[in-house]
Structure 1
Amino acid sequence: MDIPPLAGKIAALSLGALPVSYALNHISALSQCVRGGPAPGLRARGDSAPLGVALMSALILVLLSVAIYSLSYGEISCDPLYTVFAVFAFTSVVDLAISLQEDGYVGGFMEFYTKEGEPYLRTAHGIFICYWDGIVHYLLYLAMAGAICRRKRYRNLGLYWLGSFVMSILVFVPGNILGKYSSEIRPAFFLTIPYMLAPCWAGMKIFSQSQAPTCCSPNMVQEEQRKGLWQRPTDLALTVYLILASLFTLFRGLVVLDCPTDACFVYIYQYEPYLRDPVAYPKVQMLVYMFYVLPFYCLAAYALIFPGCSWLPDWALVFAGAIGQAQFSHMGASLHLRTPFTYRVPEDAWSCFFLCNLLYALGPHLLAFRCLQQPAFFLRPPPAGPLAQHKKQQ
């Protein structure tokens, strides 16, 4: 497969994050050695190192944006999201280096940033969102940048990325503020503000793109929408799944809200003690599920029963990305060594934990796949007049 020259440049530029982070880490270590290290109590009076890390990170991102604009000037002018994806691809490589470093696979890359910039990235949850960003998001950025270079559609990839990215922000930022790392907020935390605004703008651009044309004729749409739920076994199975997943979502939301019932007490101590972890990420995650995912599951079940809900295919992709990212981070952090032993999943509950959470992650992806493969049931029904005339002509 031929790679467009511009896409190749962006891939090479993103991999440049490795030598850049390695060099900056050693420069930071050398400067501390020259200064003799921070004196005891200096941080309490106001150490300038965290501010320096934040300013240096912002400067690198600005220079990176200018470099990408210079590379793409005259070649890519129709889609401003290209620059966004290219910059985020660079940060994804940085996140992958952070996660590999914190797990002990590599060293000498981002110690200065995790110590002085964002220490909450050293938590189990922080490590796994870095893994997801460094692998899944990175591949999505390259695929979408390549699609822009080839003038091809990337709307479906963009919707999946949008859901995944927004979910990580919705959990990570409040978790940093509310959890035990709230006292560790440094100036680099405010770099998340543009990081939060970018997907909002990107989401509007992605949703405004035209949908791919379907091969469903008016007759196919009408025939499919005449079928009841019992005549569509796949939709029936998905509806049952959505009902069960809604109950599970509500139950875990009540668990983190300290519901006093025996079932909640048994579950949080014997199956998912990670929900009690004072880092607050699991609690925020369950509340996001309850207030955002639960209503979507109810609406999706409605859309599988009643035809013509044209909004479902797009939002199924968004929520598939969101729940995929959330479940990866939640399951990984529940078992990671950085999570205190008392909050990790007990060994005798692993099978139940994996089964429930894997099914919870798999279901939205199956729903999105079903909507994309056979969209006729969700298309708006054709007007009665033109369809009747079409039948008479036949």
Structure 2
Amino acid sequence: MDIPPLASKIAALSLSALPVSYALNHLSALSHPLGVALMSALILGLLFTTVYSLSRSEIYYDPLYAVFAVFAFTSVVDLVIALQEDGYAVDFMEFYTKEGEPYLRTAHGIFICYWDGSVHYLLYLAMAGAIRRRKSYRNLGLYWLGSFAMSILVFLPGNILGKYSSEIRPAFFLTVPYMLVPCWAGVRIFRQPRAPTCCTPSLVEEEQRKGLLKRPADLLLVIYLILAGLFTLFRGLVVLDCPTDTCFVYIYQYEPYLRDPVAYPKVQMLMCMFYVLPFYGLAIYALVFPGCSWLPDWALVFAGAIGQAQFSHMGASMHLRTPFTYRVPEDTWACFFLSNLLYALGPHLLAFRCLLRPAFFLQPQPPGSQASHKKQH
């Protein structure tokens, strides 16, 4: 997968978030929650207007260019929030975390900001650079789509259901468009043509003739998906207060963060049980039976989703903002880290396998197409 060049114009525009946030932090008018919400909406509107005036040709070519430009700006803001909450920056976004979205000060909120300010930020620059050069960014877009959707689907319900439900301010409603963007962006990204492959009909036929035992890498992936599916189901039952001794021991000795009243870990595990677990079952089917052309795309989506989820979950489980009783005990830290790291790594290996050798997943061509292919060459 070729990584598109980064968009320098958007990178420069996004860095303006630093002086803007510093200046806003010293405005007394922003000491009121409604003032924070109105000022945030005004800044986003002015930012969109600026992007539109500077990049009309790119926006006409692909409207997602404006989305990536605005989100790159907010990614820098999120990175500043995370650095400030961890004590690496001061006098930037204190007004927003106090009067706008106080739940960003939780361990989960901090690590969501770190992920958005690093991984999402680089993806925005790469995808905007691809649009500017009229190149495809489909694979990057699918990974971002899964990551962004998982972040929103865990964070927003966690804010409403957790102990910070009484701290919801008017700025919370600015996140409502974030629920709509993945739907619109996902449709546009999935409609983009796939990158052409060099797989000939004879290669596709040869690969699809092999059984699972003749594909050791796929066999290992199937075994991994079975184990990861069981682990997903187990953690889902744990947060649903399964009364078995195994669940009791696990939640108190290995992942006590699952009991944290902020509700983010519980929502995270339920999202995995209801969405990731069925995907694992379908992925096993696609690795056994040939011609499942949908797997490469959805493997990228779920790789992004699980990567973001595990980063936030692992970080919040050990962060100082998490109360001591809910942090991972020191004597089980290695077990926790290894199991969760493998859980995050597996979907990325699956996506890499699908992109590296897609012949097994391609639709078999009808009879006669191979003969015409030979005539052309």
Category of TM-score, reference length = shorter chain? over 0.9
Q: Residue in 2 aligned with 1:77?
A: 60
Structure 1's unaligned 5+ residue stretches are: 33-47
Q: Give the deviation of 1:7 after TM superposition.
A: 3.0
> Alpha carbons of 1:71 and 1:376: their partners in 2 closer, same or farther (altered >3 Å)?
same
Letter in 2 for 1:58: A
Within the candidate set 270, 278, 286, 1:303 is matched to: 286
Confirm or deny that 1:379 pairs with 2:357. no
Q: Give the deviation of 1:323 after TM superposition.
A: 0.2
Q: Residue in 2 aligned with 1:130?
A: 113
- Superposed, 1:1-394 pairs within 5 Å as 7-28=7-28, 49-74=32-57, 76-387=59-370
> Alpha carbons of 1:201 and 1:389: their partners in 2 closer, same or farther (altered >3 Å)?
closer
The worse-fitting range, judged by mean Cα deviation, of 104-113 and 72-81 is 72-81
Distance, in Å, in 2 between the alignment partners of 1:110 and 1:185 is: 17
For 1:36-83, what per-residue CA distance to the aligned partner results, in whole angstroms no more than 9, with x for missing partners? xxxxxxxxxxxx811110011001000000000000124552111100
Distance, in Å, in 2 between the alignment partners of 1:121 and 1:366 is: 31
How many pairs are equivalent? 374
Distance, in Å, in 2 between the alignment partners of 1:347 and 1:260 is: 25
CA contact (8 A) 1:96 1:131 kept: yes
Give the aligned CA root-mean-square deviation in angstroms. 1.8
Percentage of identical aligned residues? 83
Determine helix, strand or coil for the equivalent of 2:291: coil
CA contact (8 A) 1:76 1:149 kept: no
Query: Greater Rg, structure 1 or structure 2?
Result: 1
Distance, in Å, in 2 between the alignment partners of 1:75 and 1:229 is: 45
Distance, in Å, in 1 between the alignment partners of 2:160 and 2:340 is: 26
Q: Give the deviation of 1:200 after TM superposition.
A: 1.2
Runs of 4+ in 1 over 6 A off after TM superposition: 388-394
CA contact (8 A) 2:255 2:336 kept: yes
Letter in 2 for 1:153: S
CA contact (8 A) 1:160 1:317 kept: yes
CA contact (8 A) 2:254 2:332 kept: yes
Distance, in Å, in 1 between the alignment partners of 2:334 and 2:154 is: 26
Letter in 1 for 2:45: V
Letter in 2 for 1:236: L
TM-score (norm 2): 0.96
TM-score (norm 1): 0.92
> Alpha carbons of 1:191 and 1:392: their partners in 2 closer, same or farther (altered >3 Å)?
closer
Letter in 1 for 2:23: A
Structure 2's unaligned 5+ residue stretches are: none
> Alpha carbons of 1:229 and 1:63: their partners in 2 closer, same or farther (altered >3 Å)?
same
